[in-house]
Amino acid sequence: MTLGLGPKPELDVQKVEECLNLQTNDLSLLPIPALEAHLANIRAQTANTSTLLTYLLQTRDALQQDSETYNKLIAELVGEAQKMKTGVGKVRTPLRRGTGS
């Protein structure tokens, strides 16, 4: 299914797990370059996660709009079928009587 949203962003679960497993006690003992590397990784994973979330929300919205459109179309078709079945709304054209010429 193509919704025109582009490719689905990938989430590096292993890197996210690494970020989540950081302990505050361990961080206080790390040198500044290591802390900066962790910070860069956290920011990168936050951005990636945000991009994925945006993509998923846009996908949900597009699918919801499609669903509403299809449901309206189905309701209209059912309504028209019921009208045809009951004869309501049928337009009858009067018989033409020729002049005989």
pTM for the model? 0.67
**pLDDT tens digits, one per residue of 54-91:** 999 999 999 999 999 999 999 999 999 999 988 865 55
* Structure-token pair, residue 1: 């299914």
pLDDT at 87: 80
The full set of domain ranges for the chain reads 13-85
Residue corresponding to tokens 């669903």: 67
**pLDDT tens digits, one per residue of 5-47:** 889 999 999 999 999 999 998 898 899 999 999 999 999 999 9
pLDDT at 70: 95
d(Cα 19, Cα 70) in Å, to the nearest integer?
43
Choose between 35 and 92: higher pLDDT: 35
Task: For residue 64, give every residue at least 6 positions away whose Cβ sits within 8 Å of its Cβ, in sequence order, or none.
Answer: none
